[in-house]
Amino acid sequence: MKIKIEYLLNDLCVDWGFCIPIIDQKRIIESKQLEADAFACQVLAAESMNPEYETQWRKKIRLKFVEQIGSEYYEG
């Protein structure tokens, strides 16, 4: 499942320019549990954006997560 997260982060970089630092990518990829909204918030925060104010981007990133991963991710 970590590979799906990597692909998703790559897609966000290529499609929308959210090319977050490697250290943030690794932290997100190594998460044992992720849900769509938390993922979106982490990506925006890594881009030095405030997720509370970036509601459109937060929604778009959350929807892309749901499309590719599902609503939640658990490493089992």
Question: Over the chain (76 residues), what is each successive 10-residue block's mean pLDDT?
Answer: 92 98 96 93 98 97 95 71
pLDDT given at position 76 = 55
Cβ-based neighbours of 74, under 8 Å, separated by 6 or more: 32, 33
CA distances from 6 to 10, 17, 19, 21, 45 (A): 6, 15, 12, 13, 17
Element (H, E) at 48: none
* Euclidean distance between the first and the last CA atom of the chain, given in angstroms as a whole number: 10
pLDDT given at position 19 = 98
pLDDT given at position 20 = 97
pLDDT given at position 46 = 98
